[in-house]
C-alpha cells in the first residue's frame, strides 16, 4: 500500500471522476462530504482552503465563501472552474504557495491517500490556517478489524488500482496533537475517517 498515483493519471480520471467516484462510493459520496462540511463552522466571507479539490464538489457547496481550491492536476482544476466559483490554484499540497495563517478554515476530502507524504501535507494545511481557524480532513484510512481490512483490500485493488497510501486514524490524530495547538475530534464511517479540529487563538 505504498505507491501513489502518477499525477498524469488524474488527467484520465478528471472527465469521469464525478460519476466514477459516486459509483465507487456506493451512494455515500454526498453524505460523507456533507458530514465533513457539518463538522466545522464555515460562514459567509470566510477565507477557506480546499486542498486537492478535484472537480470541485466542495466548491459547489461553499458558494458564499472566499474559497481557494488547490490541486496538482490542471484537468481537475479546469473541471472545477467550469462548475463553481472560487480561486483555483495549481499547486502541490506538499508546498502550498500561501503565507502562514492566511485561511480561516481548511478542508480536504479523499486526498490524503493520494499524496506521497501525508504528514507534510497536513503540516502545510496547519501552517496556512490562522489562529482560531478550523480544519477538517476526510479519507479512507487503514483498518484494524479483519472484515474491514478485507473491504479495504477490495477497495484498494478495484477502485484505487493498488496506487494509494493509507494513513491510520491514530496517525492523523497524532499529527494534530503534534501540531500542539489543535483540539482534535474524530469519527469513523466504515472505511472512512473524519478528523477535525480548531487551532487555538
Ligand atoms: C480522489 S480525488 C479527491 C478530490 C476531491 N477532494 C473530492 O473529494 O472529490 C484526489 C485529488 O487529489 C489531487 N492530488 C493528488 N496528489 C496531489 C498533490 N500532491 N497535491 C495536490 N493535489 C493532489 C488529485 O489531482 C485529485 O484531484
What pLDDT was estimated at residue 30? 87
pLDDT over 70 percentage in the chain: 99
Cβ–ligand 1 contact at 53 (below 6 Å): yes
Q: Considering only CA atoms, which residue is closest to atom 4 of ligand 1?
A: 54
Confidence bin at 177 (pLDDT 50/70/90) = confident
For residue 10 and ligand 1, the question of a CB distance below 6 A is answered with yes
Q: How far apart are CA 57 and CA 86, in angstroms?
A: 12
Per-residue pLDDT band for 2 (boundaries 50, 70, 90) equals: low
Residues 23-40: tens digit of each pLDDT = 887 888 889 989 999 999
Confidence grade of residue 5 (pLDDT, cut at 50, 70, 90): confident
Which carries the bigger pLDDT value, residue 152 or residue 201? 152
Strands 103-109 vs 47-51: parallel, antiparallel or unpaired: parallel
User: DSSP of 37-56, one letter per residue?
Assistant: HHHS---TT-EEEEET-TTT
Mutating to test ligand 1, I would choose from 4, 36, 71 the residue with most ligand atoms within 8 A of its C-beta, which is 71
Nearest Cα to Cα of residue 33 among 158, 164, 201, 194: 194
124-133 average pLDDT score: 95
The finding on whether 160 has its CB within 6 A of some atom of ligand 1 is no
Q: Give the Cα separation of 86 and 104 in Å (integer).
A: 15
Q: Is 110 in the pocket of ligand 1 (CB under 6 A)?
A: yes
Pocket test of ligand 1: the residue of 34, 54, 192 to mutate, having most ligand atoms within 8 Å of its CB, is 54
Cβ-based burial of 23 (10 A; exposed 0-12, middle 13-18, buried ≥19): exposed
76-86 pLDDT, tens digit per residue, is 999 999 888 88
CATH architecture of the domain with residue range 9-199: 3-Layer(aba) Sandwich (3.40)
d(CA 87, CA 7): 21
Mean pLDDT of 131-141: 95
Q: The pTM is what?
A: 0.93
Note whether 121 and 112 are within 8 A (CB): yes
Nearest Cα to Cα of residue 64 among 46, 38, 52: 46
- Spacing, Cα 71 to ligand 1 middle (Å): 6
**CA distances to 19, 38, 157, 170 from 49, in Å:** 24, 16, 31, 24
- CA 64 – ligand 1 centroid, Å: 23
For 84-92, what is the mean pLDDT? 91
Residue 144 C-alpha to ligand 1 middle, in angstroms?
A: 25
Amino acid at each position: 500500500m505504498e505507491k501513489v498515483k502518477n499525477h498524469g493519471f488524474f488527467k484520465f480520471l478528471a472527465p469521469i471522476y464525478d460519476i466514477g467516484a459516486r459509483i465507487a462510493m456506493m451512494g455515500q459520496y454526498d453524505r460523507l462530504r456533507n458530514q465533513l462540511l457539518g463538522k466545522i463552522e464555515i460562514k459567509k466571507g470566510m477565507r477557506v482552503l480546499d486542498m486537492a479539490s478535484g472537480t470541485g464538489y466542495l466548491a459547489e457547496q461553499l458558494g458564499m465563501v472566499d474559497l481557494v481550491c488547490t490541486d496538482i492536476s490542471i484537468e481537475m482544476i479546469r473541471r472545477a472552474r467550469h462548475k463553481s466559483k472560487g480561486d483555483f490554484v495549481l499547486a502541490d499540497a506538499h508546498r502550498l504557495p500561501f503565507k502562514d495563517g492566511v485561511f480561516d478554515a481548511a478542508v480536504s476530502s479523499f486526498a490524503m491517500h493520494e499524496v506521497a507524504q501525508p504528514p507534510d501535507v497536513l503540516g502545510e494545511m496547519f501552517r496556512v490556517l490562522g489562529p482560531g481557524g478550523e480544519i477538517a480532513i476526510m479519507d479512507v484510512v487503514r483498518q484494524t478489524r479483519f472484515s474491514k481490512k478485507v473491504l479495504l483490500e477490495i477497495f484498494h485493488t478495484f477502485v484505487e488500482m493498488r496506487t494509494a497510501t493509507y494513513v491510520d486514524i491514530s496517525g492523523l490524530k497524532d499529527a494534530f496533537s503534534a501540531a500542539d495547538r489543535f483540539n482534535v475530534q474524530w469519527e469513523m464511517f466504515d472505511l472512512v475517517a473524519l478528523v477535525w479540529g480548531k487551532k487555538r487563538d
